[in-house]
Copies of this chain bind each other. A is one copy, B any other.
């Protein structure tokens, strides 16, 4: 087998020890790797690189496309950027993958039967960090969900399930409330699922789904989620599995993928041959499957499971009466290597099979059919910062802005319609939405009409703070109505 080039960083604290142990185990299990080592972390930060990585190191990542990364220490004080965020943003790592597994009865847990993989969308949702404060009272964050971003993450989840011999993919959204954004995520899930008839699929509203996941995780397999739900529920799942110190994760992009432990660099344990290398090791197993070295992944992972159930444990999970032998980092690696070729007897053995596509790139198979749908602009929402009176008074004043083919149809405040009609008990903030649509109610609205409307609103002395065009796609309104 030709060696696969990978980029390795040994990191800080316990990083070098657990990386050495990890590489020894996977090579003993048959991994064929051509390792390029780069420097990241504390020394690099302190040398004046604000992201903790040298510009030259990016060349290695661009060449190998695979990054096995030990934990790093970010120096105290401000001005240092997160290395993970930098790598994720630079290379568009759209999927965060985190297996959350309990190893009962060998590691303590309230959920003895748990083997869940959280596949979290990693670029969109509220994590674009696009925020504005435009009035005294109200702040705003944009939640963005895109069709290509959703297609990538959903397809990745099903491909992952297939390669990892998984049976079911579950999707969580809140599309009963967010019909357009979460509705798109759910719709794309329903579109792609039938392409994987060998994999079961289901969808839950995220509140009910989260309650089920926290209470009966044994009913879940692979779970694919928009960014925010994934952030919260991947932490919930890892915590209740009882395996935070034993978990690895992957960050997958179309070009590059990064594999790591989910724990930190634990500087106080460094250099003492104490640390448990299992988190990084399980990250490396994800890497081997990603690069198609499935046999090595299977042999390494099963040897590790056998070591766990043989009670050969590092200090962090060692427990009198359950464990048999307390070992250091090196000795733990030796124990796993000695078991290469064996399978666990109590815990479930893993199997990996080759997937299609490979490398996480599905670009050629994106649907994107909606780019071809016909869009018409049919109106505009003009938002105002206004504190001078009641909804009825604003309705009267803004009605005078009608003209040039546009007319005011409604005003809402924090999503509740307050004009015409409205209830006296509705609390109105200083953040008002005035909806203007084409006077005739049918023909499209031009951008020049919108610019002219804003000029009139400005002339009248109103503080417009934002606008949102109202668009129809293929004749269907693609914007929400205010709640009455």
Q: Using CB atoms, name the residue of chain B closest to A93.
A: B425
Shortest CB-to-CB span from A84 to chain B, Å, is 12
Contact A130 B480 (CB under 8 A): yes
Q: Using CB atoms, name the residue of chain B closest to A127.
A: B177
Shortest CB-to-CB span from A104 to chain B, Å, is 14
Q: From the candidates B136, B144, B457, B469, name the one contacting A465 in the complex (CB within 8 A).
A: B469
A115-139 contacts to B (CB < 8 Å): 123-124, 126-139
Q: In the complex, what residues of B have CB within 8 A of residue A272's CB?
A: none
Residue A57 lies at the interface, judged by CB distance under 8 Å to chain B: no
Shortest CB-to-CB span from A36 to chain B, Å, is 18
Q: From the candidates B183, B433, B462, B467, name the one contacting A467 in the complex (CB within 8 A).
A: B467
Q: How far is the CA of A204 from the CA of B466 in the complex (A)?
A: 32
Contact A141 B178 (CB under 8 A): yes
Contact B450 A458 (CB under 8 A): yes
Residue A393 lies at the interface, judged by CB distance under 8 Å to chain B: no
Residue A267 lies at the interface, judged by CB distance under 8 Å to chain B: no
Residue A416 lies at the interface, judged by CB distance under 8 Å to chain B: yes
Contact A467 B466 (CB under 8 A): yes
Q: Using CB atoms, name the residue of chain B closest to A374.
A: B136
Q: In the complex, what residues of B have CB within 8 A of residue A181's CB?
A: 131, 139-141
Contact flags A346-368 to B (C-beta < 8 A → 1, else 0): 00000000000000000000001
Q: Using CB atoms, name the residue of chain B closest to A62.
A: B425
- Max chain B C-beta neighbours (<10 A), residue from A130, A212, A238, A483: A130
Residue A387 lies at the interface, judged by CB distance under 8 Å to chain B: yes
Q: In the complex, what residues of B have CB within 8 A of residue A407's CB?
A: none
Residue A206 lies at the interface, judged by CB distance under 8 Å to chain B: yes
Contact A426 B92 (CB under 8 A): yes
Q: Which of A25-33, A145-153, A313-321, A326-334 contacts B (4 or more CB under 8 A)?
A: A145-153
Q: In the complex, what residues of B have CB within 8 A of residue A207's CB?
A: 231-232, 234-235
Residue A324 lies at the interface, judged by CB distance under 8 Å to chain B: no
- Can you tell how many copies of this chain the complex includes? 2
Q: From the candidates B139, B458, B468, name the one contacting A145 in the complex (CB within 8 A).
A: B139
Q: From the candidates B139, B149, B464, name the one contacting A184 in the complex (CB within 8 A).
A: B139
Contact A236 B210 (CB under 8 A): yes
Q: In the complex, what residues of B have CB within 8 A of residue A208's CB?
A: 235
Contact A142 B140 (CB under 8 A): yes
Q: In the complex, what residues of B have CB within 8 A of residue A442's CB?
A: none
Q: In the complex, what residues of B have CB within 8 A of residue A375's CB?
A: 135-136, 385
Contact A180 B131 (CB under 8 A): yes
Q: Which of A12-20, A251-259, A281-289, A297-305 contacts B (4 or more CB under 8 A)?
A: A251-259
A181-215 contacts to B (CB < 8 Å): 181-184, 206-208, 210-212, 214-215
Q: In the complex, what residues of B have CB within 8 A of residue A414's CB?
A: 123-124, 128, 144, 146, 149
Contact flags A424-462 to B (C-beta < 8 A → 1, else 0): 011101110100000000000011101110110111001
Q: A136-B375, A180-B131, A254-B427 are in contact. Are A448 and B458 (CB under 8 A)?
A: yes
Q: Which of A159-167, A397-405, A471-479 contacts B (4 or more CB under 8 A)?
A: A471-479
Contact B371 A387 (CB under 8 A): yes
Residue A229 lies at the interface, judged by CB distance under 8 Å to chain B: yes
Contact flags A31-46 to B (C-beta < 8 A → 1, else 0): 0000000000000000
Q: How far is the CA of A463 from the CA of B448 in the complex (A)?
A: 10
Contact flags A229-266 to B (C-beta < 8 A → 1, else 0): 10111111011100000000000011110000000000
Residue A91 lies at the interface, judged by CB distance under 8 Å to chain B: yes
The 4 lowest CB-CB distance pairs between A and B, nearest first, are: A128-B415, A447-B458, A211-B239, A133-B478
Query: Known contacts A134-B478, A211-B235; can you find 9 more A-B pairs with CB under 8 A?
Result: A91-B423, A126-B178, A133-B184, A136-B473, A139-B181, A211-B238, A215-B236, A255-B425, A447-B463
Q: Can you name 23 A-B pairs with beta carbons within 8 Å? A: A90-B426, A110-B215, A126-B178, A127-B177, A128-B416, A131-B179, A132-B470, A133-B471, A134-B468, A134-B478, A136-B372, A139-B145, A139-B478, A141-B145, A149-B414, A207-B235, A211-B235, A211-B238, A215-B239, A228-B228, A256-B425, A450-B464, A454-B454
